[in-house]
Structures are given as structure tokens and as C-alpha cells.
Amino acid sequence: MTENYFYDPRGNLDCVTTSGGTQAADCPTATGRAPSVKLLADYTYDYMNRLAHYLSYNPVTGQKSNDTTYFNDGLSRVTKEIEDRPETADDRTTVFSYLGLTNQVTEEDRTDSSGTTTKVYFLLCLRASGGDDQ
């Protein structure tokens, strides 16, 4: 399947459509209006140009397959991701923790129908030594 990719004036990916789709007619989905059958994915950004919402649609059925909302902290790091998957009913929420003011993820807590899974990440620091270091 051939896809068309359309971008907003800031250079962000706005939407993805099937080959016959156009940005004006098929992007974005207006509130309360059924999405175009040509729309495959729609992206929404917040006032700071960060991805805030993502929608994807099944190309065969036209039904929504993923509805994800992103939450950011003051440093523009994703702190929470809520995924609604209507086709599979496998919804999940992921919360991210960071090392101080860095972008290094230290913990990821994912909650879905099977419970909560926690991943902990460790930062490995290696020191290169020269010939005279002792």
C-alpha cells in the first residue's frame, strides 16, 4: 500500500493517508466528525511543539486501532503515555522516571490488563584510562 505523508507548517508529521488522500480533505480529524476512510494516522502537538496525541486507523476496516495521549514535564520529557487500543482491548498506561534533569530513563512502569510491569534502567559509567593513570 502506498502512503502519503503530510507535515504541518512547523515541519511536524501531521497525518498519513492512503495514496488517494489529501491533507486538506483527510487531515486532521475534526472533533465530532467521522475520520476519512483514507486516514491512516493523525498526530497532534501541544503549544511547545511536543507530540501530544496520536491516532491510527486500520486500513482495512477504517476503525481506530490506537489512540495514544502523551504527557510531558517542564523539560519536555514524556512522563506518561496512555494507549487505548480498541481493536484488541489491550489498553495500557506507561509512566517514565528520569535521572535528575537528564533525559536518561531510570524506570518505566507499564500497567495493562495483566498488571503492572516495572523496568529499571541502570547507567553504566566507564572511565578510560591512559598509560600513566594509576
User: How many degrees, rounded to 5, is the angle at CA 69 between CA 110 and CA 91?
Assistant: 45
Alpha-carbon span 68 to 51, nearest angstrom: 10
Those residues with Cβ within 8 angstroms of residue 67's Cβ, 6 or more apart along the chain or in another chain: 53, 54, 55, 83, 84, 85, 86
pLDDT, average across residues 7-21: 92
pTM, 2 dp = 0.83
> Where is pLDDT greater, at 134 or 43?
43
Half-sphere exposure of residue 127: CA atoms within 13 angstroms, side-chain side:
5
Digit-coded pLDDT (tens) for 89-133: 789 999 999 999 999 999 999 999 889 999 999 877 777 766 565
Residue 82's pLDDT is 97
Digit-coded pLDDT (tens) for 46-83: 999 999 999 999 888 888 899 999 999 999 999 999 99
The domain spans of the chain are 3-95
Residue 61's pLDDT is 85
CATH class name, domain 3-95: mainly beta
